[in-house]
Amino acid sequence: MPTVEDYVARIEETCGEEKGVIVTFKYDKKDEAITKIRNKAQLKSSLSGIIFEFAFQATSFRVFSSGKAIFKGINKEALHDILAALLL
């Protein structure tokens, strides 16, 4: 049974008062994770094939082709639920 941890290498809060969370996907799973996200979330915009801005369950977030994603204004528990819905 796959888990969020199978895809995610690290989750860290950004510094600054406007809290965000950076998700780093595992290198060998990043392409699969991005494909799953593209299939489930609504693509709002993209730039140069590098940044993809998505909307999912009233949450906007940006995914980078390097295998990182930034979620803003969200706590880690809610983030885990969203990642589970997107990746599993």
Partner 1 sequence: MEHHSNIVPWELISKINGFTIKYAKVNDDGTLDYEDFESKFSSKTKLASLSHVSNVSGVINNVKRIAKIAHENGALMLVDGAQSVPHMPVDVRDLDVDFLAFSGHKMLGPTGIGALYGKKALLEKMEPFQGGGEMIKEVSYNQKTGRCGIDWNDPPWKFEAGTPNICGSVALMEAIKYLENIGMPEVLKHEKMLTEYAVKTMQSCCTKLVLYGTSASFLKCGIMPFGIIGLSPHDVALFLDNYGIMIRSGFHCAQPLHQVFKLQSSARASFYIYNTREEIDRFIEVLKEIEQL
Q: Per 3-state DSSP, what percentage of the chain is helix, strand, and coil (rounded to 5)?
A: 35, 40, 25
Residue number with CB closer to partner 1 (41 or 69): 69
Binding positions for partner 1, rule: CB under 8 A: 14-18, 20, 22, 45, 47-48, 50-51, 62, 64-66, 68, 70, 72
Residue number with CB closer to partner 1 (32 or 46): 46
Strand order, beta sheet including 51-56: 8-13, 20-25, 68-72, 59-64, 51-56, 42-47
Strand partners, 13: 21
Residue number with CB closer to partner 1 (50 or 85): 50
Q: Shortest Cβ distance from residue 24 to partner 1 (Å)? A: 10
Number of residues that this document lists for the chain:
88
